[in-house]
Amino acid sequence: MITRPLDLLSKLRPPPRNFDFLFLVNGGLIALFFTLFSSHFVLSPGLRVGGTDLKLHKSSGALDNPIATPVLISIDANGQISGDAGVIPSSKLNEWLTTQSKREPGSILLVIADRSATTEMILKINDAAGAAGFKGIQVAEQMDSAAPASAR
């Protein structure tokens, strides 16, 4: 009985040498490009703010005016201001806002303020953002649990 009538095995090329290092180089280059160009589609953009103790204002109209806000700052219960690079001292706030408005011209600043943050602090940030070149600010809110289901 003939088990290999066409002798195909002898007509094949020999298996290539081991190129496993190319897979590692390829994976490294992909990781490098994601790091350099900070892909907003794979890696989630944002700023972790104080864990679970952050309490935002609640409003029934929280979803009425959604807009893209590429630059954000947060104010915690102690009045400490944080940006993408960490804590921003009050003396450097204007300089930081000017730098960010040049990086994202014509954008709106997202302010994530704790419920205990004062209106005076938010107004101070609003004035500084306007002077730095932002079109305005958007204050983050949570949707009120008493809001009608149609608003969700």
Question: Which of 152, 148, 126, 124 is CA-nearest to residue 138?
Answer: 126
Domains of the chain with CATH codes: 51-151 (3.30.420.270)
Taking phi first (over 0 means left), then psi (-120 to 50 degrees means alpha), and beta for anything else, what does residue 136 get?
left
Provide the percentage of residues in the chain whose pLDDT is more than 70.
Answer: 70
Evaluate whether 138 touches 126 at the Cβ level (below 8 Å). no
Which has more pLDDT, 131 or 144?
Answer: 131
Query: Residue 51: pLDDT band by 50, 70, 90 thresholds?
Result: very low
pLDDT digits (tens, 9 = 90+) for 77-99: 788 888 887 888 888 889 999 99
Mean pLDDT of the chain: 75
- What's the average model confidence in pLDDT over 2-21? 78
Q: 5-21 burial, b for 16+ CB within 10 Å, e for fewer?
A: eeeeeeeeeeeeeeeee
pLDDT digits (tens, 9 = 90+) for 53-85: 555 555 555 556 667 778 888 888 788 888 887
The two three-digit tokens of residue 83, written as one number:
């940006």
Query: Residue 139: pLDDT band by 50, 70, 90 thresholds?
Result: confident
Of the listed ranges 1-5, 41-45, 88-92, 123-127, the least confidently predicted one is 41-45
The two three-digit tokens of residue 70, written as one number:
């590429």
Does the pTM surpass 0.85? The reply is no
* pLDDT(2) > 70: no
